[in-house]
């Protein structure tokens, strides 16, 4: 009898949890999704004594996707840095100006944490505003990335590609 009560209570709890998570996820859906490819060039690095290694980079990206069901394409120019601590862990931050073919510009910040040897990962994306039809835009989401090829003629140049999902608000 006691076993049946415990199973019933656990089942009710599980059903409630699933229902609440579906309601929560549905209210925070992404309305901007995209696929992107970037060429990244490490432009410098600083390592002095006991300080962490700082690498600066520039990226040029192309992106295609949908915003509220409408297709878009864009080209982005990004600057960023990767900081590798003495413990071997890395943080990766950057800011992009994304020029949309149909007009308007989005300003986006991204961040990721992990090992400098990672070949893929997931990070956070923050919309910091925009110009034109994106003036006053805000939002946040996630991105996944996979490391692409490194240029054999220039070991400081490589590629990455991935996907982004953002809950975008445009006033």
| Residue predicted with more confidence, 123 or 6 | 123
User: Which candidate, 66, 128, 63, places its Cα nearest to that of 93?
Assistant: 128
**What pLDDT, on a 0 to 100 scale, did the predictor assign at position 155?**
83
Same domain, 109 and 151: yes
Burial 146-164 (b: 16+ CB within 10 A, else e): ebeeeeeeeeebbebebeb
Does residue 17 carry a pLDDT above 70?
no
pLDDT digits (tens, 9 = 90+) for 102-125: 889 999 999 988 877 778 889 999
**What pLDDT, on a 0 to 100 scale, did the predictor assign at position 49?**
65
Same domain, 46 and 102: yes
Least confident of 44-53, 60-69, 80-89, 145-154: 44-53
Least confident of 14-18, 30-34, 70-74: 14-18
Same domain, 7 and 74: no
User: Which candidate, 71, 14, 61, 67, places its Cα nearest to that of 160?
Assistant: 61
- Tokens linked to 83: 């900081």
Same domain, 8 and 35: no
Same domain, 107 and 163: yes
pLDDT band at 19 (very low <50, low <70, confident <90, very high): very low
Same domain, 39 and 18: no
Same domain, 141 and 74: yes
Domain count, the chain: 2
Least confident of 4-18, 60-74, 92-106, 116-130: 4-18
With tokens 């006053």, the residue in question is 136
Same domain, 18 and 59: no
Same domain, 103 and 126: yes
Question: Are the C-beta atoms of 166 and 153 separated by less than 8 Å?
Answer: no
Same domain, 93 and 118: yes
Q: Considering the entire predicted model, what is its pTM?
A: 0.74
CA–CA distance, 30 with 117 (Å, rounded to integer):
30
Question: Are the C-beta atoms of 119 and 125 separated by less than 8 Å?
Answer: no
CATH number at residue 82: 2.40.160.20
Same domain, 82 and 156: yes
Domain of 9, in residue numbers:
1-28
User: Which candidate, 131, 143, 123, 146, places its Cα nearest to that of 33?
Assistant: 143
- Tokens linked to 133: 């039809």
**What pLDDT, on a 0 to 100 scale, did the predictor assign at position 92?**
87
Question: Are the C-beta atoms of 138 and 148 separated by less than 8 Å?
Answer: no
């Amino acid at each position: 009898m006691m076993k049946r009560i415990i199973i019933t209570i656990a089942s009710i709890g599980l059903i409630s949890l699933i229902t609440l998570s579906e309601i929560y996820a549905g209210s925070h859906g992404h309305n901007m999704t995209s696929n992107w490819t970037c060429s990244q060039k490490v432009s410098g690095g600083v390592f002095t004594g006991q300080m962490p290694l700082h690498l600066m980079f520039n990226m040029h990206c192309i992106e295609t996707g949908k915003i509220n069901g409408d297709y878009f394409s864009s080209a982005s120019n990004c600057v960023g840095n990767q900081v590798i601590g003495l413990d071997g862990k890395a943080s990766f931050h950057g800011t992009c100006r994304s020029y949309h073919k149909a007009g308007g510009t989005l300003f986006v910040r991204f961040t990721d944490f992990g090992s400098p040897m990672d070949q893929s990962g997931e990070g956070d994306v923050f919309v910091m505003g925009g110009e034109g039809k994106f003036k006053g835009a805000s939002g946040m989401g996630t991105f996944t990335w996979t490391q692409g090829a490194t240029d054999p003629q220039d070991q400081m140049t490589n590629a990455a590609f991935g996907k982004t999902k953002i809950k975008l608000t445009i006033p």
